[in-house]
């Protein structure tokens, strides 16, 4: 059942106040308000063909031609997207000191562009490409410029945008010329963890360290269907941490949740931020003795 924005926002603000060191995990729902399409519907099911798998991308030149020809059309949507109200509200929560770590499953870098700093891009970033043979890295827009020059007919095509910088373009891709690693001629791939690929262990460990320092988990706009994200909720549950979820649909972790708000993200987060900001203003303007009492009270209850 969906809750009203005001009710969900007030409950979320209370949750944050009670657990002011949050470990946040975000997913595609945060970026749909930025115009980036999602793969799954509210019930967590695929609403379109699943994305390309790591193994098939590496094994087949035909798959790579199709991938890059479609990306030449679809990546513009990712590159031009602007942070949503949800990204901005989460950046505001960090600025207010409530976020221990934000782990995103999105590859669009919109959290950073909204001003968040304590961010781990769990599944990598779509604006970088990396050579699978020699680790050479380059910015994706530079690679796209090269491929647009090499493939003027494909660069002029248009199609509706799909998730992850893909486009719904069907054509004969056999003539497409892929730009290979300028250093060794190897296969360039977006610096993104594909299905069938693994999250680099140092990145996963950094996320786990953040979880150990947190007081609660807040999942925002994610169905948690992908195991690399879901696993953290299982760990948090095993640690006895409260787990809240704000999303429109069901999540794989529903059975582990202690708090669930099925409501639109941007208005609820914005409402919660405004409520917390108002509370802080009130506390800041109180006289010093009562403020000291408050801190003393929270310290003694913390050590009890």
Written as six digits, the tokens of 210 are 């953040």
For the segment 184-213, give every residue that binds Zn ion (CB under 5 A). Answer: 184, 186
Q: Which residues are catalytic?
A: 123
134 in a known ligand binding site: yes
Q: Which is nearer to Zn ion, 181 or 224 (CB)?
A: 181
Pick the stretch among 116-124, 136-144, 255-263, 276-284 that binds Zn ion (CB under 5 A): 136-144
In whole angstroms, what is the distance from residue 44 CA to residue 222 CA? Answer: 9
Q: How many residues bind Zn ion (CB under 5 A)?
A: 8
Q: Which is nearer to Zn ion, 131 or 233 (CB)?
A: 131
In whole angstroms, what is the distance from residue 188 CA to residue 108 CA? Answer: 18
Q: Which of 7, 133, 215, 270 binds Zn ion (CB under 5 A)?
A: 133
131 in a known ligand binding site: yes
134 binds Zn ion (CB under 5 A): yes
- 3-state SS, residue 268: helix
Read off the DSSP letter of residue 286: S
Q: Which is nearer to Zn ion, 168 or 180 (CB)?
A: 180
For the segment 170-189, give every residue that binds Zn ion (CB under 5 A). Answer: 181, 183-184, 186
Written as six digits, the tokens of 213 are 């320092």
233 in a known ligand binding site: no
Buried b (16+ CB within 10 A) or exposed e, 177-198: ebbbbeeeebbbbbbbbbeebe
Q: Which residues contact 57 (CB under 8 A, 6 or more apart)?
A: 63, 64, 67, 189, 194
270 binds Zn ion (CB under 5 A): no
Q: Which of 142, 106, 126, 113 is nearest to 27 (CA)?
A: 106
47 binds Zn ion (CB under 5 A): no
Feature table: binding site: 131, 134, 181, 184
Residues that bind Zn ion (CB under 5 A): 131, 133-134, 136, 181, 183-184, 186
Feature table: binding site for Zn(2+): 131, 134, 181, 184
């Amino acid at each position: 059942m969906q809750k009203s924005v005001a009710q969900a926002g007030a409950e979320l603000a209370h949750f944050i106040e009670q657990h002011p060191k949050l470990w946040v995990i975000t997913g595609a729902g945060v970026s749909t308000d930025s115009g980036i399409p999602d793969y799954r519907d509210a019930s967590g099911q695929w609403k379109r063909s699943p994305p390309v798998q790591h193994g098939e991308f590496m094994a087949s030149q035909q798959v790579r031609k199709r991938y890059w020809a479609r990306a030449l059309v679809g990546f513009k949507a990712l590159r031009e997207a602007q942070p949503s109200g949800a990204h901005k509200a989460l950046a505001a929560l960090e600025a207010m000191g409530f976020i221990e770590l934000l782990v995103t499953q999105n590859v669009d870098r919109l959290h950073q562009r909204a001003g968040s700093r304590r961010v781990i891009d769990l599944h990598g970033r779509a604006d970088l490409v990396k050579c699978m043979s020699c680790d050479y890295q380059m910015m994706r827009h530079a690679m796209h410029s090269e491929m647009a020059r090499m493939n003027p007919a494909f660069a002029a095509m248009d199609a509706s945008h799909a998730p992850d910088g893909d486009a719904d373009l069907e054509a004969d891709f056999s003539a497409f010329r892929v730009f290979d690693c300028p250093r060794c001629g190897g296969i360039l791939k977006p610096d993104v963890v594909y299905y069938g690929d693994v999250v680099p262990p140092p990145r996963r460990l950094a996320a786990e360290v953040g979880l150990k320092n947190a007081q609660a988990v807040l999942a925002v706009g994610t169905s948690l269907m992908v195991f690399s994200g879901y696993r953290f909720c299982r760990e948090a549950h095993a640690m006895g941490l409260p787990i809240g979820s704000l999303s429109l649909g069901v999540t794989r972790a529903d059975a582990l949740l202690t708090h669930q708000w099925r409501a639109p993200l941007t208005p609820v987060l914005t409402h919660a931020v405004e409520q917390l900001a108002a509370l802080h203003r009130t506390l800041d303007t109180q006289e010093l003795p009562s403020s000291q009492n408050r801190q003393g009270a929270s310290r003694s209850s913390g050590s009890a």
